[in-house]
Amino acid sequence: MADTSAPAAPAASVTSVTSVAPSRGRGARIALRAVQVLLALFFAVASALPKLIAHSSAADTFAEMGWGSAGMYTIGVLELAGAIALVIPVLQSAAGAALSALMVGAFVVQLTYFDGEQAATPLILMVPLLLVAWARRRHNEELFRLVRPGRRA
């Protein structure tokens, strides 16, 4: 007689692996969403808001650089737009990339105008922003279809 219990063991292990994999993927998606929300809150409240209400801390900094109110409001609007886009599915990847580019500019400004006092902050923010841009990249095809409806992505 043939032993029928041998084939059952691999099937059970495959079942357990496949049942665990979706839960890990779900946890990663939840963690990524939490990172996106935290980044969005940071950029909207801690970074854009002081610029958009012309708080003295932001106004003085932009005046010191010689960029004035126009530069302050422009950066504030870009940060707020990026914060909003981080939580809109079709824009998430683009927002991560755009805010990363903005952080490159912030890094350069910190080095050139402020002797690198806070230069690590934009670099630290770039890590999760680039992670969002990469992890949500599948939404780029949909974004391209929306922007260029007559062409395929």
The more confident residue out of 115 and 82 is: 82
- Does residue 4 or residue 129 have the better pLDDT? 129
Render pLDDT for 4-43 as a digit per residue (tens, 0 to 9).
554 444 444 444 444 444 566 899 999 999 999 999 999 9
pLDDT (tens digit, 9 = 90+) per residue, 89-117?
999 999 999 999 999 999 999 999 999 98
Query: In whole angstroms, what is the distance from residue 103 CA to residue 129 CA?
Result: 9
Enumerate the H helices of 1-153 as residue ranges.
5-41, 49-52, 56-65, 68-85, 92-113, 120-135, 139-147
Give the single-character DSSP code of 91: G
Percent of the chain with pLDDT over 90: 71
Query: Torsion angle, CA of 120/109/40/73, rounded to 10 degrees?
Result: 160
pLDDT class of 139 with cuts at 50, 70, 90: confident
